[in-house]
Structure 1
Amino acid sequence: MTQLTANPNSPLSDKTISHTSTSLNSFAPRLLDWFETNGRHDLPWQQHQTDTPNPYIVWLSEVMLQQTQVATVLPYFARFMNSFPTVQDLAAAEWDEIAEHWAGLGYYARARNLHKGAKQLVAIIDETGDFPQTLAGWEAISGVGPSTAGAIMAMGLHHYGVICDGNVKRVLTRWAANDGDITKSATTKELWALAERLTPEQHSGLFAQAMMDMGATLCTRSKPACLLCPLQEDCLAHEQGREEEYPVKAKKKPKPSKFSNALLIQNSADEILWLQRPDNGIWGGLWSLPLEFIEKIDGKAVANKPDNKIMTEPQLDVRSNEKAYETEFTTAEQIINEWLNKNQLVAESVSATLFDNAPAPIKHSLTHFHWYLTPQQLTLNTEQSQELTTALQAAEINVNWLNSNEAQATLGLPRAMVKILQ
């Protein structure tokens, strides 16, 4: 067994943990012995097998891995490293290029923070000659929280660092049978104290990677492989047969739903109008079809023809009042909506000529709501498309007329837009 000692200086309270000091001190050695044989050692951002770690690689991977699985991240990471092999390359890149590389990975604020953070890091390197060397230095970088900073310190610099991300919290709540709500600050504080107590002062980077692997491969959300776990002998949740009851998390309220028409506005060359979204808000800086806000209103009584029974159907109504503009429409979409109304033009279902019923909306789930997007098509003549373009450009709005293949190849498109095109 690896001879390592957990950090005895952590502020862990006796009330926080029921394990003996022997269990606490043997946690890291058992985990690292397991990791040496069974852990993942071939991920492209791992730095535990090198004598000269690269914090840029770890920082980039940690940002990408936030709320995203390794399998999803791998091709994006490879592409980023190919295009932006150094933090200086990333800082010097134009936002459109970064957005195109990130498109489809989701949680787009991460990409904005990454670009901003790269510029901050380059300024620090220019001033000091190196990346930040302290936890506080990394936490000052845009988008970097305590766990990400700890991971960079431990794995990217081979200094002492502690992580307590989602995977780690799951392992710890089960091992300690901590039944506190992990969305509450008090529980988070307890888990951080436990993570600090268990993290060895030496090889904390190895320990961080081992904890990540444990949560990703054995101590999974459902059906954890407890019989293979090196910690099972003193895992309190396993002892109680309640592994899947942890971590405890308050039941979320059902997500609200929003509805929009996605306007496929085409010109005479079969090119589609694309708008660049504002930097702030959903899909900031990416390219999207114009969206038309729809408000779901109360049901309407209609007759059911077969038996003449009255039944209620949900109705969708396009609203163009100021409140809707303020909360849902970008400036570009307001201009388009007003221009269409002025010219008495209406987009129709893309399959209206083929089917009696319009296609079902495409459901796209975001962090805080479900979004139902219904494709609507409208073809403009040369004069109309030029007039609309001029109106948008007069408001300094970035527009592009590209066909489907060109847009997917050259623009940073949200995954929802790709779904619509497909």
Structure 2
Amino acid sequence: MPTHFSQSSSSLSTFAPRLLDWFAENGRHDLPWQQHQTDTPNPYVVWLSEVMLQQTQVTTVLPYFARFMESFPSVQDLAAAEWDLVAEHWAGLGYYARARNLHKGAKQLAEIIDEAGDFPQTLAGWEAISGVGPSTAGAIMAMGLHKYGVICDGNVKRVLTRWAAIEGDITKSDTTKTLWALAERLTPADHSGLFAQAMMDMGATLCTRSKPACLLCPLQEDCLAHAQRRETDYPVKAKKQPKPSKFSDALLIENENGEILWLQRPDNGIWGGLWSLPLQFVEKVDGKANNKATGKTTANKSAMSDDKSSSLASGVRSNEKVYETEFTTAEQIIHEWLDKHNVIAAPINQTLIDDAPIKHSLTHFHWYLTPRSVTLDNKQITALSTALQAAEINLHWLTADDARATLGLPRAMVKILER
């Protein structure tokens, strides 16, 4: 691990005092999870906020944090809560694996507290909690326990790469090691919690991705990127490939009472554990919609040809990898049931743009969702529900309003209901 940095010894030794002076006068001191003004810090609220703030802005997190604290004021309350209630509280915040890890982590912490009488008191103890990495663990140690802890999250990396003009790609392990070594060198032994909060504030309010407020920065005098007028060249990161696009029909299967079929997503994969409309993936080829399972152009994108569809009894054929990976078991059952009974789901909106009126961007791809509607009679509802229940599929028949009020829905589903 490197021990030499491009900044002078004087700059290194005065970094923390300058930053802390700035934070005292200009930093944020009223965020509900901050613990630097209390003598009895609460690691639960720091842990909760750190998980929520991963890849998410403070303004977005604030109402979610308030709602979580109202419903789950202690880690034991969160651990004891049913997953559906946790999912409902998280719905719309995105990156849903965080919610799964949070719930699992709460159960782990509750067990530790039962056995040891307190939260973990070491960095290793926190890193053993589901979803907690080195920077989150350091933040909890520093801010949640008032012990020594080092953070090196996205905001910190941006500040440090600019201040020290670190040219390495931040996605590479060598650069990561350099940044952690620098963060450890700069973090004071005392008041590391204040320093962590100051670094977060610096990255969030001054040293922003675009248009950094360098004239207000307490580090501008020896910031190497500023001296070179290359602030926005840092951090260096390999250019991302354009996100691919996926296309799906979102099926609003209604009964005669206006209730819609909702499926609980599998624990793994997109929207794990949340509730969704049945989805049918399609492929865009030369402006036409192709069924991805068969490769055949179809007038009804919700149908699958008999010669290619395979029943659950015989299993999905080995050459139908797309069908096997893109469709959940429940969606395979629905797909085959609709096809067998010649039920066609019709477009809801005839003024579609590129066959997809709703665009939803996820981490690795853009998702274009076309709502399609079909109403089934009571006999059909019973038959379809029986087929799903036989496969132990969790489902609900709820109106749009009831689903919004009682289920954990991903934002994409809310967009469809708001069409």
Residues 1:85 and 2:73 are matched in the alignment: yes
1:169 aligns with 2:157: yes
Equivalent in the alignment of 2:17: 29
- Residue in structure 2 matched with residue 311 of structure 1 by the alignment: none
Paired residues of 2:148 and 2:190 also in contact (CA < 8 A): yes
Deviation of the 1:356 alpha carbon: 8.9
State the Cα distance separating 1:363 from its structure 2 match. 1.1
SS in structure 2 at match of 1:50: coil
Where do 1:45-60 residues align within 5 Å? 45-60=33-48
Structure 2 partner of 1:284: 272
Q: 2:324 aligns with which of 323, 326, 338?
A: 326
Write the distance in 1 (CA, Å) between the matches of 2:3 and 2:349: 64
Distance 2:55 2:398 in 1: 32
Sequence identity (%): 78
Confirm or deny: 8 A CA contact 2:84 2:408 kept in the other structure. yes
Alpha-carbon distance change, 357 to 50 in structure 1, aligned in 2, over 3 angstroms: closer
Q: Is residue 2:269 matched to residue 1:296?
A: no
User: Secondary structure at the residue paired with 1:324?
Assistant: helix
Cα distance in 2 for residues equivalent to 1:359 and 1:421: 18
Deviation at 1:18, TM superposition (A): 1.7
Gaps of 5+ in 1: 1-10, 300-313
Q: Distance in 1 between matches of 2:198 and 2:36?
A: 11
Give TM-score, length-normalised by structure 2. 0.92
The equivalences for 1:202-213 within 5 A come to 202-213=190-201
Matched-pair contact (CA < 8 Å) for 1:349–1:359: no
Q: Is the Cα–Cα contact under 8 Å of residues 244 and 364 in structure 2 kept in the other structure?
A: yes
Query: Residue 385 of structure 2 aligns to which amino acid in structure 1?
Result: T
Partner of 1:419: 415
Match of 2:3 in 1: 13
State the alpha-carbon separation in 1 of the partners of residues 103 and 232 from structure 2. Answer: 38
1:109-124 residue pairs with structure 2 within 5 A?
109-124=97-112
2:303 is aligned to: none
Amino acid at match of 2:219: L
Q: Assess, with a 3 A threshold, how the Cα gap between structure 1 residues 33 and 357 changes in structure 2: closer, same or farther.
A: closer
Of 362, 378, 391, the residue aligned with 1:395 is 391
How far 1:327 moved relative to its partner? 1.1
Gap regions ≥5 residues in structure 2: 295-319
Of residues 315, 321, 325, the one that matches 2:288 is 315
CA–CA distance in 2 between the matches of 1:356 and 1:219? 41
Q: Distance in 2 between matches of 1:268 and 1:233?
A: 70
CA offsets 1:379-402 (integer angstroms, 9 cap, x no match): 111111121111111111111111
Q: 1:382 aligns with which of 362, 378, 384?
A: 378
Output the amino acid matched with 1:369. F
Question: Which residue of structure 1 lines up, in the alignment, with residue 349 of structure 2?
Answer: 351
Partner residue in 2 for 1:270: 258
Give the drift of 1:325: 2.3
Query: Which of 212, 215, 236 does residue 224 from structure 1 map onto?
Result: 212
| Matching residue of 2:237 | 249
Cα contact 2:134–2:151 (8 A) shared by 1: yes
Cross-structure match for 1:4: none
CA distance in 1, matches of 2:352, 2:34: 55
CA distance in structure 1 between the partners assigned to 2:339 and 2:76 by the alignment:
48
**CA separation in 1, counterparts of 2:218 and 2:2?**
23
Separation (CA, whole Å) in 2 of partners of 1:372 and 1:177: 40
Q: Is 2:187 the partner of 1:183? A: no
Matching residue within 90, 111, 119 for 1:102: 90
State the AA in 2 paired with 1:211.
Answer: M
**In 2 relative to 1, CA 358–258 (structure 1 residues): closer, same or farther, beyond 3 Å?**
closer
Q: Report how far residue 127 of structure 1 moved.
A: 1.1
Counterpart amino acid of residue 73 in structure 2: P
Aligned residues of 1:12 and 1:197 also touching (Cα < 8 A): no
Following superposition of structure 1 onto structure 2, how do residues 336-347 of structure 1 map, counting pairs within 5 Å? 336-347=334-345
Once the two structures are superposed, what CA deviation does each residue of 1:52-71 show, in whole Å capped at 9, x if it has no partner? Answer: 00000000000000000000
- Following superposition, the deviation at residue 404 of structure 1 comes to 1.0
User: Partners of 1:238 and 1:56 in 2: how far apart?
Assistant: 38
Shift of 1:337: 0.5
Taking structure 1 as reference, are residues 148 and 35 closer, same or farther at Cα in structure 2, changes over 3 Å only?
same
SS in 1 for 2:288: strand
Amino acid at match of 1:71: T
Q: Within 2, Cα distance between the matches of 1:351 and 1:184?
A: 46
Q: Secondary structure of the equivalent of 1:367?
A: coil
Distance 1:112 1:165 in 2: 21
Letter aligned with residue 392 of structure 2: E
TM-superposition CA deviations, 1:216-259 (whole Å, max 9, x none)? 00000000000000000000000111111110100011111111
Q: Note the C-alpha offset of 1:359.
A: 5.9
CA contact (8 A) 2:15 2:219 kept: yes
The offset of 1:159, in angstroms, is: 0.3
**Aligned counterpart, 2:302:** none
> How many positions carry a matched residue from both structures?
393
8 Å contact from structure 2 (residues 247, 356) kept in 1: no
Larger CA deviation: 322-331 vs 337-346: 322-331
CA-to-aligned-CA distance 1:68-107 (integer Å, 9 cap, x gap): 0000000000000000000000000000000000000000
Q: Deviations over 1:180-235 (max 9, x none)?
A: 10010100100000000000000000000000000000000000000000000000
Tell me the amino acid that sits aligned with residue 170 of structure 1: R
